[in-house]
Structure 1
């Protein structure tokens, strides 16, 4: 007889020697078969609740996302000089993460109406092209959006510094 349901916790007898080779061993070799059966019954009678796994990683908290954007405030580059790839890529990524955090915040996206509108306008201009020449073309819009959001985020009553 095969015993699939409690194979890991209870010992079972097999019909043929071939079945014996493929059967799994008890979970604990030192535990007696009766102990394993008792554990199986106890485990079956207890409700099992598996933690729900999020489909996607949760966005950062708004304050944390804003802090990483603020870290770019004293940085700049010169479009066309070859020093903008990292800077513009980073600012664009920080704005994207802030956008995600604001949309997931318990206060709701309505609380962040202005910065979300500013980022939507920028992201519409940028489209999906994140190449350095394209970002350099929109240098002014990227930096202005960053600076405007910085000003909004530090305004009372919700100073996010």
Structure 2
């Protein structure tokens, strides 16, 4: 539970910190200026993708209630964050690692969507079952109380012209 809660708290800051690490890492590990300029676009897209996946994970009510991501989310986030950190070292296999980052983001995105749909479906079924249960329970019909006289006012068929003017 501690690991899942740590990822819950870390996923939004990670969407900013990890892409920034890539920029710093590439600058430290001797990437050329043109590579860094091209990298800026990729880092912005990575930031948006990580924020989107964090938002999808956060959209699930169970995640917000427990303040912990699921184990599937924790595993995929571990893979994604490890790959992003590895990309920041600017090694000869950076192109392969970058491709794996894209695959990991897509996997996290679709896993989040599937989990969100499944949770929403379960909650809707529970709500429908509660409504059906309430509909099955016979309503107790009460007879009117007989403890005195009642005044019944019948609506009249007074037209607009016959009504007194309002002040």
Q: Please give the TM-score of this superposition, normalised by the length of structure 2.
A: 0.33
Q: Which has the higher helix share?
A: 2
- Greater relative contact order (CA < 8 Å, ≥ 6 in sequence): 2
Q: Please give the TM-score of this superposition, normalised by the length of structure 1.
A: 0.34
